[in-house]
Amino acid sequence: MWARRMGSFALAVALTYVLAVISASQHVAASLEGMGAEVGFGTRLEMIVHDLGGMATSFLPMILIGLLIAFGVAASLLRWLPRWRYLLYTIAGAAAVVTIHLALNAAFDITPVAVARTGAGLVVQALCGAVGGYAFARFTAR
């Protein structure tokens, strides 16, 4: 049971991180295209691979800690709301990613990924966290 939870947590973190980085990379590619640059499929893939490695030492630990806290809160709430498992973890994942962006912006006036500077981009980042939260709920369900 413990190994399953740890594996599910690692999957949720990885899924959230990969989706968030892909959305950030594609936002940058779209911005470059908007300025007249030609960004082909190969370049987009290169950007994603580069960003996955480049953000692993900063953004990935933030996601890990954020999801750890958020999933802990969700697990506590499950005691009183056991039927809301999927919704609680999904919301927890989304809230964790949004909190990372908003807290860093409020405290240090920085945004870990440029896409989160817009409302729509922040929603996309939240959806990445929501997918990770749902995956955790799904793979830890009894």
Reading phi first (left if > 0) and then psi (alpha if -120 to 50, else beta), residue 37 is in: beta
pLDDT tens digit string along 29-85? Answer: 998 999 998 889 999 999 999 999 999 999 999 999 999 999 999 999 999 999 999
Q: Which domain holds residue 76?
A: 2-140
- Number of domains comprising the chain: 1
pLDDT given for residue 110 in this prediction = 86
Residues 15/136, Cβ–Cβ less than 8 Å:
no
pTM of this prediction?
A: 0.94
Output the pLDDT for position 2.
84
Higher pLDDT, 142 or 18: 18
pLDDT in tens, 107-121: 998 888 888 889 999
Instruction: Select the more confidently predicted residue: 3 or 10.
Output: 10
